[in-house]
Structure 1
Amino acid sequence: MAGLTQEPLLLRVARGETADRPPVWMMRQAGRYMKVYRDLRDKYPSFRERSENADLAIEISLQPWRAFQPDGVIMFSDILTPLPGLGIPFDIVESKGPIIESPIRTQEQIDRLHDFDPETDLPFIKTILQSLRAEVGNQATVLGFVGAPWTLAAYVVEGKSSKTYSVIKQMAFSQPELLHQLLSKFADAIANYVRYQIDCGAQVVQLFDSWAGQLCPQDYETFALPYQQQIVRQVRETHPDTPLILLISGSAGLLERMGKSGVDIISVDWTVDMAEARQRLGRNMKVQGNMDPGVLFGSQDFIRDRVLDTVRKAGRSGHIMNLGHGVLPGTPEENVGFFFETAKQVDKLLAVPV
């Protein structure tokens, strides 16, 4: 009977327990590479409807769970979802990404931002997370996620995705006090949102500071790290036992600094060797990742070799198997399935030294 009530594998490893194999899930595991998702998208073309209609978001979240049985089921949502609650409307346009019609660039706009109450502003989140917990039980860990302040600010100041981040960097380097106000407001709101997700059923929460890798180390320590720490500090005050993961794209030059954020797990992208990442972060820091999503376009032998190589380099404990970033559109579904099958069999396929 004890096995029936045991906490799910990913949660146990995230808390520091040693297991026979690393748990495995994929960032963006629900999405465009799956035909069942594309069919649903054709019927409901608005991304915000898909992510903010609880029934649709639950269905999409569970599509990869039904297909592949990953150890983690992450709610289908977006890092920008809280913005309307702060008074920042946005839209997501297919093939273009997020669009913010009135970018935040003045003191007056910052002063007009609303107080954020996730229970009132995002009532669908509770339904989504509670339903996912009920659906997967102890067979998988339910993950929530949020955007970190620098990345949210990059979107709302630029008004859209950017390749240069010149508008927000202009603010950072010419009006830093203005940007710091915005970042602190975002940090308070996001800490509140993380706590709410945990209260609604999220067992692990991932912070996406996707664009912090666009900062040099000096500016990361000024404009990103303190606000990651602000979130972690506030969440720890009320939910000290919930593991937190931090992801930054292109983070090879920031790994040691990411470790100062206070999170439990660093999600490592594929621009750094996993063995080197573990050495740089220290054995006390747990890691997630870090296979190149492009590997999933390769042969099954190639996929198997890369999965085993990643697990071997990560070592026996403190590792969650994942991609270095999200699964790419066009990825063959059968290769995703093979990735999960292989990751679940690594204890048989590979003798990882203890």
Structure 2
Amino acid sequence: MRKKFGVLTFGRGSPTERELKSSTYQVPMKLSEITPEIYRERVAQACEFLEGHSREMMAEVEKQMRAQAEKLDFEKAAELRNMLEDLRRTTRPTRRFTRGSLPTTIDPEADVRALADALQLPKIPRVMECFDISNISATHVVASMVCFRDGIPDKNCYRRYRIRTVEGQDDFASMAEVVRRRYSRILLEARDANPNAAEFSQENPAEALERQSTINSQPSPVNLVRLPDLIIVDGGKGQLSSACKELQRLGLHDLPIIGLAKEHEEIYRPGRALPLQLPEDSGALRLLQRIRDEAHRFANAYHQLLMKKRIGESILDDCPGVSQHRKNLLLRKFGSVKRLRRASAEEIAATDGIGTKLAADVHRFLQTH
């Protein structure tokens, strides 16, 4: 609140001159340099936020975060990202319980059956895979794929991706790339494991994989990844359409797939103009939300990891005498700025292309920054 609105959190009424001079540590600006009208406006904005009008503020913070990331000011972008997460946690609605309305326990298998009925699937979706795209700027666009087996997370099958072929922020193209990479790899592994059958087979790839998994039920040195019974993409019509096109190119057009749009929890299905909306207390909807939220968490965790790594590496950009080539040499040897910071000047000097004087300068710089 202090950082965003620049308001004092002590005293009553208008701050005195002494309070203005002594309170600059609380807020990121000098209050003595603004007018009472501007200060009252900030107080009004803070009050609106506390009264629940937070959506506009979060949208503005997110806009600033993206702008800073585009300027490659990753430290400021990360600070705004943390502020945005704090705001979301602060304004997240809490669950209220009333007499006669007790929380229900989660029954994963029952939720899976309910989902099969709600979507009118040909069989129970024992294995489900969900994709999510995470980006703050075009610098680091990543995706996640989480797997649920019988309604429970199977973390051994989780995958994360860095988007390679898409320039800028394009969720549709990013979703297409990650779906293509995931299932083309599964088909390639299946073909390599059974090349003779794959060469002459005219079967649908999904049916061929299912038949092979049934035949090869005995233990095998090759642990093939099976196709899921249901694919879920985080998003609406655009993300779903992009994923469907890639599945069609791979011959997997019969694979069940849906898109889950977060704003109204609408379920989009191929060939259906109108979305499906399930009751809020539906076990099927709760299962989809758990899967979607887990994919979102996994993607964001990977994105934050890359952002922290990028911010750490950017410190070397400010070190005098360290060119891009020398920075690459140092990071290649030590692996990260954190390890480089722990190294002595002699250890740094042992790096090819780094002299004794430069090593001492780098060591001194990292100890003071």
Q: If the length of structure 1 is used for normalisation, what is the TM-score?
A: 0.24
TM-score, normalised to structure 2's length?
Answer: 0.23
The structure having more radius of gyration, on CA atoms, is 2
Identify which of structures 1 and 2 has the higher relative contact order when contacts are C-alpha pairs closer than 8 Å and 6+ apart.
1
